[in-house]
Amino acid sequence: MILIKQPETGLSPPCGGEHPLHLPAQSNMATRWGICSAGKISNDFTVALKTLPAEEHQVVAVAARKVEDAQEFAGKHNIPRSYGSYEELARDPDVDVVYIGVIHPHHLKTCLLFTNAKKNVLCEKPLAMNTREVKEILDSAKRNNVFLMEAVWTRFFPVSVEIRRLLAQGQLGEVKMVRSEFGVPLMHVPRAVQKELGGGSLLDVGIYCLQFTCMVYNGEKPESIQATGVCLETGVDETVVVSLKFSGNRLAVFTCSSGVQLPNEAIIAGTKGTIKVPSPIWCPTSLIVNGKETQFPVPEPGLPLNFVNSTGMCYEAEEVRQCLLKGLKESSVMSHADSLLLAEVEDEVRRQVGVVYSQDGQ
């Protein structure tokens, strides 16, 4: 028997489910978004925002490196302002928060531009190329007293909310093993294979498996990391297998690949039961708990999408709004410490596999 759970409003418990201490006057106003870059992911994020109430979320401006691209994007999504530079967006006084959808080698520079302009930021994953860059971004956000979150959208899906609830209630007993894989053929995509574009399967798709493991083990740092992988001639990782050992003899294994199609499923095995997340684990819409499946459908898009289930980005957008209403500078569901942990593990995995980016030597 398959149950279907319809999404509720603001599905993820806002900012980890805490009760607001205070709601500023802006709570009856829309959160005003600026979109940085007019690429495919920015398109989907904007479509996702449109599934939320217009009185709560509005896109007021978009910026691209070419003004023509920004204007075309603005026309398609009915956005009032378009800019031919990110600096102009940073100076727009009517923007509450900026969504950054540029490729990850540019995340550091772009995040710093907006945090230094006192703008709140939601930046696509990975937050940066390595731990040093992540720390620089986090330090800037704290120094400028602005909200910042890495857009690990999976964390805010109803499926992820349900997994955290089940684990917190001890439904699986003691979790002993987490297994996940994410592999899709991406050899034809320059961004996935070229080092200067931040290529490599770990930072592109493996981060989803890693964040899943870190979520299940509640942000705990692994005691040991063992990684092996295959690299392309371009010097980036094509396929990587990672074993993680946590305290109490708890384990996790994940495989990521940009060379082959994998089942793209995840398993959490505990002493009292098993949770299975069917494909696609990075934007899941169903959950199997001890053999019983429940569906959690995402909203229907108003415009064509570039990626599967992209309207699910509405959940992370709603999290941002709730955090801003409470005056928070980070989300407890995807905290600054969570972003730092991801970067630290990714750095060690890359070190063992032999992937070095130009950013690592700076």
pLDDT in tens, 61-115: 999 999 999 999 999 999 999 999 999 999 999 999 999 999 999 999 999 999 9
What pLDDT score was predicted for residue 27? 76
CB atoms within 10 A of CB 81: 17
Confidence of residue 26 (pLDDT cuts 50, 70, 90): low
What pLDDT score was predicted for residue 3? 53
- How far, in Å, CA of 10 to CA of 243, rounded? 35
Lookup: tokens for 69: 């691209």
Our measurement of the distance from residue 351's CA atom to the centroid of its chain's CA atoms, rounded to an integer in Å, reads 23
Asked if the domains 7-154 and 159-297+336-357 are classified in one and the same CATH topology, the answer is no
Q: Which CA distances in Å does 121 have to 91, 246, 296?
A: 14, 32, 28
Can you give the pTM of this predicted structure?
Answer: 0.93
Instruction: Enter the CATH code of domain 159-297+336-357.
Output: 3.30.360.10
Domain 7-154 has CATH 3.40.640.10: no
Q: Where are the domains of the chain?
A: 7-154, 159-297+336-357
Q: Could you tell me where the beta strands, DSSP code E, fall in 232-345?
A: 237-246, 250-257, 266-270, 273-277, 286-289, 292-295
Question: Span 134-162, mean pLDDT?
Answer: 98
Residue among 332, 2, 362, 308 at smallest CA distance from 156: 332
